Amino acid sequence: MLSRCTRLTSSPVALEDLYGLVLADAVTAPESVPPFENTAVDGYAVRSSDVVSPPATLKVVGELTAGAAPGIAVEPGTAVRIMTGAPIPEGCDAIVMVEDTERLEDVDGVVVKTSVPAGAGIRLAGSDIKRGDVLFSAGVEVNAAMLGVLSSCNVRSASAHPRPRVAVLSTGDELVDDGSPLHIGQIRESNRTMLLRLVADAGCESVDYGIVRDDEDALERVLREAAETCDAIVTSGGVSMGDYDVVKLVLSRIADMRWMQIAMKPAKPFAFGEITAGTRHVPVFGLPGNPVSSFVSFELLARPALRSMAGHPATTAFRSYATVILDDDIQRKSDGKVHFDRVFAYWHQDGRLHVRRSDAQASHQLSASAQTNALLEVPNGNGMKAGDTARALLFRPA
């Protein structure tokens, strides 16, 4: 899937639109930060040689605020009142914090109560960023702090990969999402609602294609429209080996699909393929219909592929695994599959990451999964004991 889900073509993106996108190229600084020497504290600009033997009384000859030009010089025996961020005046080589002084208003002077070394309280030009420095490498997702850094040195745009537009749809005559009373055989739609948010949380633009009834022509029309306007398609249901389902019938006809049975539980059935739309090959992810299976297969299989399309390298396309301590016995039978149990991860007082297993692990029990924040990897075998170490994939911070 990763080899078929190629990164979307990058383009220059304005600073205000970069948040959450992945950089396609390294970004270098066009300006230094700070651009000039300035003070790190409120206080008095002095010559350090004047305050070697405190207390020292100096004449206050002016005041500098942030944004003001430094038109005042610090001569021997004088000081300048200065505010944080203001430029360093000529003759000054140190700043005394206001807390270490006493102002003498009647004689326009100040008593400095402590000595300071040369350079104290002064931010040197370029001490944070120097012009030409590599700020961020390609493959990094832009966060809020990065936007601040880019803005601080006048980066107005950067090359980035766009968010993949991902079509999400549900199929079935039995699905109801308008709040009307259920009739026998009907169920509330839930997978599409969940998947739209999961797609968005993965850094993509989710596009709601609604519920498509069990009509081959209607489904083909929706899938082809989605392939024309979106970069990927996510469906749920109709991927089991024995299913005689409209989804399987249509996708088998209009797409190059692979129908899989994966040695994992839940989410054993899975499908992946491509619909050709002009010169584009649009990936299609066929998730199983049971809600928990749909959730798990998206997290483990579809999400990394979609993030790869958005420009993420493998290090960030996949969720992080953590070593955890089991609070409960995990009972299972050997069946040739890796089990992924829904667990709640938390930091224990012993300083280690522990997990509590949800009692409801059936593939239709989504309500229990909503109270968890990790998937515990349970290898094939006869289970594990409380106190054992294991691997867990974290999908929300512990």
287 and 183 co-located in one domain: yes
Would you say residue 5 lies in a domain?
Answer: no
The vertex-192 CA angle with 189 and 193, nearest 5°, equals: 80
169 and 207 co-located in one domain: yes
Write down the pLDDT at residue 108.
93
Write down the pLDDT at residue 186.
86
272 and 307 co-located in one domain: yes
pTM as predicted: 0.88
Write down the pLDDT at residue 171.
87
Contact indicator for 101, 109 with CB cutoff of 8 Å:
no
Q: Name the token pair of 27.
A: 């970004």
Q: In the listed set 289, 313, 337, which residue is the last one of a domain according to the structure?
A: 313
Looking up residue 367, the CATH number of its domain turns out to be 2.40.340.10
pLDDT tens string, the chain, 398 residues long: the values are: 999 999 999 999 999 999 999 999 999 999 999 999 999 999 999 999 999 999 999 999 999 999 998 889 999 999 999 999 999 999 999 999 999 999 998 899 999 999 999 999 999 999 999 999 999 999 999 999 999 999 999 999 999 999 999 999 998 888 889 889 999 988 888 999 999 999 999 999 999 999 998 899 999 999 999 999 999 999 998 787 665 688 999 999 999 999 999 999 999 999 999 999 999 999 999 999 889 999 999 999 999 999 999 999 999 999 999 999 999 999 999 999 999 999 999 999 999 999 999 876 776 777 777 788 999 999 999 999 999 999 999 987 66
Would you say residue 207 lies in a domain?
Answer: yes
133 and 22 co-located in one domain: yes
Would you say residue 3 lies in a domain?
Answer: no
Distance of alpha carbon 192 from alpha carbon 171, whole angstroms = 9
Helices (H), the chain: 144-152, 191-201, 216-229, 246-254, 291-297, 303-309, 314-317, 366-369
Distance of alpha carbon 245 from alpha carbon 12, whole angstroms = 43
Integer angstrom CA distances of residue 45 from 23, 75, 78, 104, 124: 42, 10, 9, 16, 15
26 and 43 co-located in one domain: no
In whole angstroms, how large is the CA radius of gyration of the chain?
31
Q: In the listed set 161, 180, 209, which residue is the last one of a domain according to the structure?
A: 161
102 and 186 co-located in one domain: no
185 and 260 co-located in one domain: yes
29 and 42 co-located in one domain: no
Q: Which domain holds residue 353?
A: 321-394
174 and 116 co-located in one domain: no
262 and 228 co-located in one domain: yes
26 and 118 co-located in one domain: no
Sheet strand arrangement including 157-161: 11-14, 157-161, 22-23
Would you say residue 88 lies in a domain?
Answer: yes
Write down the pLDDT at residue 50.
98
253 and 179 co-located in one domain: yes
Would you say residue 288 lies in a domain?
Answer: yes
Would you say residue 255 lies in a domain?
Answer: yes
Please report the DSSP string for 121-145 in residue order: TEEPTTSSB-TT-EEE-TTPBP-HH
Q: In the listed set 313, 340, 375, which residue is the last one of a domain according to the structure?
A: 313
SS3 226: helix
Looking up residue 233, the CATH number of its domain turns out to be 3.40.980.10
Contact indicator for 296, 192 with CB cutoff of 8 Å:
no
Write down the pLDDT at residue 241.
66
Number of domains in the chain: 4
Mention every residue, 6+ apart, whose C-beta is less than 8 A from residue 57: 104, 109, 110, 111, 112
